[in-house]
Chain A
């Protein structure tokens, strides 16, 4: 504790006063820059798309900066009302939501479309961290069950939209809190057993046909190479043909000649791998690892259970994005609509992620206020 305090004193730089965590910022900015380059390449070298992406980066950076100014105590105070409003919004999405791409995800606010599930990505970890941090750690089993229930409600509501990717992210953000709060290993083991028992039920009663098809395709993409298997086959070809050094920026044939679908969004990792090769991928993974390590360091250094749990959950959820996206694009996991964080084109999830980093920065720089 003392050494951290000492650290604080030393680093009272201008960044510190602006509530900006410099190592985190460096990592984020390098990903955003890289994302801009790859989006430009994947979008058929369209300046329009690159400019739109750059604008979103600007907005996201602003949001991050703004959020970083809010003391973490505020979140704790507003956790419960926000959660209730969030659940209400999710229910209303199911009832009155706007249908797009075969799923109900949006609420039409008149001037813009709003996706309540996005904001839940932040509200759920805040809520669970608030709930768990009220009690002593490690959490008692009764509280764990209660926390699980709290996680399950938004997860199921979002899965019903259906939006498997987001519900997965939200579930994991809650579960990370519970895990970090010291749930006993016995309990974790039991949950794993129950979870695997739940899988057939999920398959038979809850998953929609297209989701089942994705799993089947994942297990054997070559079964339908021009249909459902096309995405993953073309993606693996793009990655594999990159080799060690890659084909070079703007030189990826799979992406430039449009063989690769969803190039600038979910499959942007394939474009990156094709053009920058294993060397690029290694560097990218190291940047992600560095961000995760920094995030965990912020969590460990945080002075209150709530901020620790929240910071840890946000960091690990960020990594879930990385794992699910790269895993899916490279054929390790079934296709789930999760973007490559801070690189993929697409505004909503980037803003949410950057808001999350804003919270992390707030936790990193507002320590003295909550001590």
Chain B
């Protein structure tokens, strides 16, 4: 159709055609635009569907972590040592309360809530969502809980929330071995992140900080559960989509006997010291107590800085776990030195030395005194133990030399971790030429060897190491690593087929295997018996150093005393416990085991700065109390005749009573 540029008279048909063309063009434009829109929506809804589907879900679905319940801890007889106790807090959901100020005021009057807690709540009200619960007060007393429960109908929007908190019913009795849990701090969080555990700890507030709670943190903790919820743009939970329950941590059963712990505490009351009792048959620690102790529960709620300062600055240093701190072993290690002498064939049970009351190194003027001023006279191996003769061991150690001593003592675990299942263990010091060179860059002096011979000088051992060394001795070289954990119990709940009934509860108990190290092998097995016999005599022979403490015991015990100097007293100076400063007085040490023939318990005792007397009068009675508790009414008699002497021992009933000769309590 020809275009008419200039028309005078209106051409309606041409105009209509022009319009129709333009309308058609716009229609094409409209269709193109609709296709563009369609294509764009297609891109979003089909091509990128998965991307937007995911983003939509991540908008609305939140995983709320649910913390698992921490495993409980029992002693060997099933007494609960660490439990999870509910603590109650009063919570408010602001949007559910009609007149918030009035309600808070009334409930505060009812429960006697301090003003500062109220103002704190109103303060936090500003920054929090109104449908999220706010804590008004935590750690309500039972009375407050009861009072509120009765009046709850008056306070809509207020409710009591229960949370589980760790509680140690025996408080200070178990703190040094169990340790405690406390709030996860930044350092813990970083560590968890490094170990890739932060996800499992998302809802967990507390973590083991010390002792077994720390060592077995992973086992006790369990596995996190999740609640999958749908939320709106305010974060309000609309509904729960799914729930994966957490797997609670495993329960621990310890080798500890809480009754022995109690006896230990009582026996050490008023003293600074430590007791370790081990069952030599499996390495299980029966008692492990350090006095003074402190209440681990204080740390669970976050200890106040005042209380913490008090603990830190206390003269008795309760925070220190003395069972794993080094003490000079003193004469308690004489049996082991004797064993070394036998193995090196420097002594025999019969060979005697003469003790004039002092010892002189060849060519040196200085005299080293025995503890008995006038000497013990003729001394053989057994007597050297019974009387704890220093001169015998000055002589022996001089002949052995530091290196042979150190090598043998290292086999008994001195200067090394025993491998017990807490992290606080100390290695203490087993001195040697190499050690002194490394530590002080000084040569070893022979005089120091003599001091080592009576368990002094640089030598320190922990009560745990001492007990473990005795355990190796009574096991005749077999090394069973000491441990506190006896078994773990996994409790699993499987849903019942009948939905209404309780789920099936099943327990999987896993006994810890005995962990052994390569044994110590001597050229002659009889050496063991010789030394053990000497220890037996030390306790059973009238007048021996350990005799009076175990007089009248109904089980056949053996042991060795020790008294360690803590002050630097010259060899010729006079030591008088009553005039010297308290913290420079001697330490009392004692090791014992019983029954003599088939030992069930080894005890090591260390008591600091005793007023008077040594290990025999101070530490041995403590060991006696532990053993009395352990054996109870059992009467145990040695049946075998003694290989090396004919003296009769102690009480007469030993020869009579044959009935209860063995068995467990």
Contacts and interface: CB of A to CB of B under 8 A. Distances in A.
Interface of A: 136-138, 176, 179-182, 234, 236-244, 253-254, 257-259, 273, 277-278, 281-282, 285, 288-289, 292-293, 296, 299-300, 305, 308-309, 312, 316, 319, 323, 326-327, 330-332
A239 B41 contact: yes
Interface string B1-43: 0000001001100111011101100110011011011101110
A279 to B, nearest CB: 9
A182 B25 CA distance: 11
B56 A316 contact: no
B19 A312 contact: yes
Interface stretch (B123-131, B183-191, B227-235, B512-520): B227-235
Given A239-B52, A327-B40, 14 more contacts: A180-B23, A240-B45, A240-B55, A241-B52, A243-B53, A254-B56, A254-B60, A257-B232, A258-B232, A293-B27, A300-B23, A330-B37, A331-B40, A331-B44
B18 A182 contact: yes
B51 interface: yes
A238 B56 contact: yes
Please list the 6 inter-chain residue pairs (A to B) with the smallest Cβ-Cβ separation, ordered nearest first.
Answer: A240-B52, A241-B56, A257-B232, A240-B44, A137-B15, A278-B45
Contacts of A278: 41-42, 45-46
Contacts of B38: 281-282, 285
Nearest to B234: A258
Contacts of B51: 240
Contacts of A316: 26, 30
A278 B15 CA distance: 41
A176 B51 CA distance: 39
Contacts of A241: 49, 52-53, 55-57
Contacts of A308: 16, 19
17 contacts: A137-B19, A181-B19, A182-B18, A182-B22, A240-B52, A241-B52, A244-B46, A253-B56, A257-B231, A258-B233, A258-B234, A278-B42, A281-B41, A289-B31, A308-B19, A316-B30, A323-B33
A229 B16 CA distance: 47
B15 A289 contact: no
A184 B16 CA distance: 16
A181 B16 CA distance: 10
B48 interface: yes
B238 interface: yes
Contacts of B14: 137
A239 B38 CA distance: 12
Contact of B27 (A138, A281, A292): A292
A281 B26 contact: no
B662 interface: no
A281 B10 CA distance: 44
Interface string B275-306: 00000000000000000000000000000000
B10 to A, nearest CB: 6
A278 to B, nearest CB: 4
A136 B205 CA distance: 85
A299 B52 contact: no
B59 A300 contact: no
A277 B45 contact: yes
Contact of B238 (A239, A243, A257): A257
Contact of A330 (B18, B44, B233): B44
B20 A285 contact: no
A184 to B, nearest CB: 10
Nearest to B55: A237
B27 A296 contact: yes
A316 B15 CA distance: 19
Contact of A305 (B15, B27, B53, B234): B15
Contact of B34 (A239, A259, A285, A331): A285
A257 B62 CA distance: 13
Contacts of B238: 257
A277 B49 CA distance: 10
Nearest to A182: B18
A327 B36 CA distance: 9
B33 to A, nearest CB: 5
Nearest to A238: B56
Contacts of A292: 27, 30
Contacts of B37: 285, 323, 326-327, 330, 332
Contacts of B31: 289
B60 A253 contact: yes
B234 A332 contact: no
A182 B52 contact: no
Contacts of A138: 18
Nearest to B31: A289
Interface in B222-266: 230-234, 238
A93 B231 CA distance: 44
A300 B46 contact: no
A358 to B, nearest CB: 21
Nearest to A285: B34
Contact of A332 (B36, B53, B60): B36
Contacts of A277: 45
Contact of A257 (B10, B22, B27, B60): B60
B146 to A, nearest CB: 40
Contacts of B42: 278
Given A319-B30, A323-B33, A243 B22 contact: no
A255 to B, nearest CB: 11
Contacts of B16: 300, 308
Contacts of A282: 38
B26 to A, nearest CB: 6
B59 A259 contact: yes
A180 B22 CA distance: 5
Interface string B53-89: 1011101100000000000000000000000000000
Please indicate which of the listed interface residues B23, B38, B40, B48 has the most CB atoms of chain A within 10 Å of its own CB.
B23
A319 B14 CA distance: 27
Given A239-B41, A254-B59, A136 B19 contact: no
A285 B16 CA distance: 28
A138 B30 CA distance: 22
**Most chain B CB inside 10 Å of its own CB: which residue of A238, A239, A273:** A239
A312 B37 CA distance: 22
Contact of B40 (A180, A259, A289, A332): A332
Given A312-B19, A330-B41, A332-B40, A136 B7 contact: yes
A278 B40 CA distance: 11
Contacts of A239: 41, 44-45, 52
Contact of A299 (B19, B46, B55): B19
A311 B30 CA distance: 15
A343 to B, nearest CB: 15
A264 to B, nearest CB: 15
Given A257-B231, A259-B60, A330-B44, A296 B52 contact: no
B52 A237 contact: yes
A288 B22 CA distance: 20
A272 to B, nearest CB: 11
A176 B42 CA distance: 29
Nearest to B26: A316
B567 to A, nearest CB: 71
Contacts of A237: 52, 55-56, 59
A179 B26 contact: yes
Contacts of A259: 59-60, 232-233
B19 A289 contact: no
Nearest to B18: A182
A316 B24 CA distance: 12
Contacts of B230: 253, 257
B35 to A, nearest CB: 9
Nearest to A179: B22
Contacts of A253: 56-57, 59-60, 230
A353 B134 CA distance: 51
Given A237-B59, A239-B44, A296 B232 contact: no
A299 B10 CA distance: 19
A327 B41 CA distance: 9
A258 B233 CA distance: 6
